[in-house]
A and B are shown apart, each in its own frame.
Chain A
């Protein structure tokens, strides 16, 4: 596609519910990143994939967060047993090569009630 596509655009979850957020990167982009952005803050790194390999997951805040990219293209960020502090915008970015400017999607705004 022309850009990075994320779905859903908005998600409201009840506390304790599991959610899955999807990212469709630009076709052919090897690198894929997930970021979390709280209101009024800059994006915070969560995890990074190169093709299907998850090379860095040091930013995932707890073991309730899990990301996968099984075929090296689409990625899913899963959050189990959501908590109110998980409310944020979750951004996905991709790039053809590490070091080049990353293209971000518009994000998924998650609200946990």
Chain B
């Protein structure tokens, strides 16, 4: 059973705001929601992590509704260099020492000039 569901691909143009929504209907009470970005020939790079409501950093914002069954990664004013695969993950468990992460297939975001 997939832990997360997200679109396979998305297209955008430079300067636009991009929102990628992820479904995680079976999220556990103590799971974080974490997003990673991956460029070709590189390992995934941590973008943002949250538990509830809204989290913002210098790169992105993460919106989490009260039921936590979905989340939305928001990238403001994307550029060509934001073209990458974006992974939504549930985990790690806030109370666990294990921290195992489950990646899905991710969303391929392509930004056009």
**Residue positions of A touching B, CB distance < 8 A:** 4, 31, 33, 35, 40-45, 48, 50, 55-56, 59, 91-93, 95, 98-99, 101-107
Are A42 and B100 neighbours in the complex by a CB distance under 8 Å?
Answer: no
Chain A: CB-nearest residue to B41: A106
**Residue positions of B touching A, CB distance < 8 A:** 32, 34, 41-46, 49, 87, 92, 94, 96-106
Closest 3 CB pairs of A and B: A104-B43, A101-B46, A42-B103
Distance in angstroms between the alpha carbons of A101 and B42 in the assembled complex = 16
Are A44 and B34 neighbours in the complex by a CB distance under 8 Å?
Answer: no
Contacting residues, chain A, for B44 (C-beta < 8 A): 43, 91, 93, 104
Main secondary structure of the interface of B (DSSP, over half): loop
Q: A43-B44, A106-B41 are in contact. Are A48 and B105 (CB under 8 A)?
A: no
Identify 14 residue pairs between A and B in the complex whose beta-carbon atoms are under 8 Å apart, listed by A's number: A35-B103, A40-B105, A43-B103, A48-B98, A55-B98, A93-B43, A98-B97, A98-B99, A99-B92, A102-B46, A102-B99, A104-B43, A107-B42, A107-B43
| Cβ-defined partner of A45 (8 Å) among B45, B49, B102 | B102
| Cβ-defined partner of A56 (8 Å) among B34, B98, B105 | B98
Chain A: CB-nearest residue to B47: A101
Chain B: CB-nearest residue to A93: B43
In the complex, how many angstroms separate the beta carbon of A55 from the nearest chain B beta carbon? 6
Q: A101-B46, A103-B46, A104-B43 are in contact. Are A45 and B106 (CB under 8 A)?
A: no
Contacting residues, chain A, for B97 (C-beta < 8 A): 50, 55, 98
| Cβ-defined partner of A42 (8 Å) among B42, B92, B104 | B104
Contacting residues, chain B, for A56 (C-beta < 8 A): 98, 100
Indicate the member of A50, A59, A98, A106 with the most B CB atoms within 10 Å: A98
Contacting residues, chain A, for B87 (C-beta < 8 A): 42
Chain A: CB-nearest residue to B85: A42
Q: A41-B105, A42-B105 are in contact. Are A95 and B45 (CB under 8 A)?
A: no
